[in-house]
Amino acid sequence: MANFTPLSAAIGGALIGLSAVLLMVLTGRIAGISGIFAGSLGLEAGDKGWRVAFLAGLVLAPLIAGVFGHAAPTPAMPANWLIIVVAGLLVGFGTRLGSGCTSGHGICGVARLSARSIAATAIFVGVAVAVVALTRHVFGG
């Protein structure tokens, strides 16, 4: 557990929870990123305006933090672009079919004590753990 960063994780997590609560209390909307992104692409009914604004804030955050010396790290991605494309397609299709992702199910849904969201979260975390176990410890070196 050499990489464990509990303090920054707790502060970051609290901010994510605060954002979800504020969005609900102010606009009556669930802070589910997959749903917001799909809506901003016109794949969901309703207006695009607030969705585009939310995503703009999301992308602006690391740029603003960068001005104050807290820039986002360069994301470490797989060298194989085929894996990236397949994973992106699965995340896009899967979050629509399953009606949510880590934010919509994992934070908002679990916070509403929705059995459906708790089940979804258990499944995607469990499957992702299995995939990492297979790629790192069975097939990987």
Partner 1 sequence: MPILAALSCGLIFGFGLLFSGMLQPTKVLGFLDIFGDWDPSLAVVMMAALAVSVPGFAWAKRRAQPILAAQNAWPRSTAIDLPLVIGATMFGIGWGLVGLCPGPALENLATLSPPVIIFAVAMAVGMALHHIWRRPGISIGHDVVLATAADG
Considering only residues 52 to 71 of the shown chain, the ones binding partner 1 according to CB under 8 A are: 53-65, 70
Give yes or no for residue 91 binding partner 1 (CB under 8 A): yes
Q: What does residue 114 show for φ and ψ, rounded to 5 degrees?
A: -80, 120
Contact criterion met (CB below 8 Å) for 104 and 32: yes
State which of positions 10-39 bind partner 1 (CB under 8 A): 10-35, 37-38
Quick one: which of 83, 132, 84, 123 has its CA closest to 101? 123
Rounded Cα–Cα distance for residues 29 and 22 (Å): 9
Q: At closest approach, how far in Å is the CB of 33 from partner 1?
A: 4
Q: Please report how many Cα atoms fall inside a 13 Å half-sphere around the Cα of residue 19, on the Cβ side.
A: 17
Amino acid at 118: I
Nearest approach, Cβ of 130 to partner 1 (angstroms)? 7
Shortest distance (Å) from residue 52 CB to partner 1? 8
Number of residues that bind partner 1 (CB under 8 A): 116
Q: Which of residues 92-131 bind partner 1 (CB under 8 A)?
A: 92-117, 119-121, 123-131
